[in-house]
Amino acid sequence: MQLYNIKHPEEKVSFKQAVLQGLGKDQGLFFPSEIPSFSPEQIQELLALPFQERAAKVLGAFIGDEFSPEQVQELVNNAFNFPVPVVEVEPGVYTLELFHGPTLAFKDFGGRFMSQVLRLLAQERKITILTATSGDTGAAVAHAFYQVPNIEVIVLYPKGRISELQEKLFCTLGDNIKTIAINGDFDACQALVKQAFDDEHLREVIGLNSANSINISRLLAQITYYFEAYARVPQNKEVVISVPSGNFGNLTAGLLAKALGLPVAKYIAATNANDTVPRYLASGKWEPHQTQATLSNAMDVSRPNNWPRIEELFRVKNWKFEQDLFSAPVSDAQTAQTIVALDGLGYVSEPHGAVAYRVLKDYLKDEQVGIFLGTAHPAKFKGEVENILGREIALPEQLAKYKDRPLLSENFDADYATLKEFLLSHTAAAKAHK
């Protein structure tokens, strides 16, 4: 698959190069030069397949020129080795539960697929992965790469702005996983990562790679479960899918599924109070506000880094925002009410899924079926959910075992020079380079 840099279309790379490089010149995002598409008959055949087999076919349409069908199937089988259930929460409304992987969040899909691809590519030289997380990416990336040879992971996260349990899940691993709590918000962490990628010297010395939602391998991985969602609901009605959105990687993947031919009638981008996109769609003006801390903290992003890909996709497909996308924000008060309402239906949710459900419910018409993406297990937001529901919820074993381990994080100000010094003196790749 060939990809181009959206900011500099003359910069073209292969899929493998794009995975290694993360970003193009001037922090431009890579975008496929050609988006494959399936005929309606082929879509029906795909929908009839089991998840892993279908996923390999969908991904093969993109990367089949760089990996054999057997390799693609192996990448898929290793990466997606957990269930992806669809649950009906009330008549006509379903949730796709994306939180049954090792870190109980949907970012396991992207993180694990990317680690499988990089495992194949890291045989040549040491790789350092630098990523910023608002909570779940970091955990997914850390677990996906834990003890993978020749790869080291540095995760930056906003100090005090992720849940204690989230922090425990990825800041207690050690070994090839290093974590840094930054005195600042997620956007400050993201800005540091971007600065590091702009630093050509550093990039070369430490074999820098990013694993956040800008990496194309993560996006491709996420396309696969939209097919699963669609396959598991009644298809005699229009299907609407609501995506709880922060950096908009998940929604980009959903829209790519549609571009491949999956007949989703409408996508909903549900946000919290960080509502840059719904305001943009209403006014045509891109005016990010200061990032606000909310209950759905993995979506506390006011400058969503995947948005340029969505613009690009709408441009090349000639789609119209008014027609193909609906977007609305949900306040914390509404989020809490919605968690209570879902509990009343017998479904224990968490803030991110609740945001998606809420906008879906307000939008959905009788003649449609709705799917909202469940992006995290409620136990990952145990404190918040227990406060709202007024009762305890169980902690699954995957989380319980990290609870009492000591945090191993460093703590830095949001200062690039400090970070650079650390990367040049503490990473295995830098040491090997000397």
Ligand X SMILES: *Cc1c(COP(=O)(O)O)cnc(C)c1O
Binding site for ligand X (CB under 6 A): 105, 107, 135-136, 213, 244-250, 298-299, 352, 375-376
Alpha-carbon dihedral sign for residues 64, 66, 67, 72? negative
Nearest CB to ligand X, comparing residues 190 and 250: 250
Nearest CB to ligand X, comparing residues 128 and 215: 215
Alpha-carbon dihedral sign for residues 427, 428, 429, 431? positive
Minimum distance of ligand X from residue 14's CB (angstroms): 24
Nearest CB to ligand X, comparing residues 67 and 267: 267
Nearest CB to ligand X, comparing residues 186 and 227: 186
Q: Which long-range contacts (CB under 8 A, 24 or more apart) does 49-56 make?
A: 51/80, 51/84, 51/224, 51/228, 52/76, 52/77, 52/80, 54/224, 54/227, 54/228, 54/231, 55/80, 55/224, 55/227
Nearest CB to ligand X, comparing residues 107 and 119: 107
Q: Which residue is nearest to ligand X (CB)?
A: 136
Both tokens of residue 160?
């005090």
Q: What kind and span of H or E run contains 3? A: strand 2-5
12-33 core/surface letters (b: 16 or more CB in 10 A; e: else): ebebbebbbbbbbeebbbbbbe
Minimum distance of ligand X from residue 434's CB (angstroms): 36
Three-class SS of residue 166?
A: helix
Minimum distance of ligand X from residue 420's CB (angstroms): 26
Minimum distance of ligand X from residue 431's CB (angstroms): 32
Nearest CB to ligand X, comparing residues 80 and 109: 109
Minimum distance of ligand X from residue 351's CB (angstroms): 8
Nearest CB to ligand X, comparing residues 60 and 249: 249
Minimum distance of ligand X from residue 225's CB (angstroms): 12
- Of the candidates 212, 220, 284, 221, the residue with the CA atom closest to the CA atom of residue 246: 212
Minimum distance of ligand X from residue 250's CB (angstroms): 4
Nearest CB to ligand X, comparing residues 71 and 398: 398
CA dist 417 → 70, 414, 432 (Å): 44, 9, 21
Minimum distance of ligand X from residue 93's CB (angstroms): 18
Nearest CB to ligand X, comparing residues 105 and 141: 105
Q: Bridge-partner residues for 381, per DSSP?
A: none
Minimum distance of ligand X from residue 213's CB (angstroms): 5
β-strands 2-5, 30-32: how paired?
Answer: antiparallel
d(CA 178, CA 103): 17
Nearest CB to ligand X, comparing residues 106 and 230: 106
d(CA 163, CA 134): 10
- Of the candidates 426, 21, 423, 434, the residue with the CA atom closest to the CA atom of residue 202: 423
d(CA 263, CA 229): 12
Minimum distance of ligand X from residue 190's CB (angstroms): 11
- Of the candidates 324, 326, 330, 322, the residue with the CA atom closest to the CA atom of residue 271: 330
**How many C-beta neighbours within 10 Å does residue 125 have?**
12
Nearest CB to ligand X, comparing residues 216 and 429: 216
Minimum distance of ligand X from residue 337's CB (angstroms): 19
DSSP 8-state class, residue 376: B
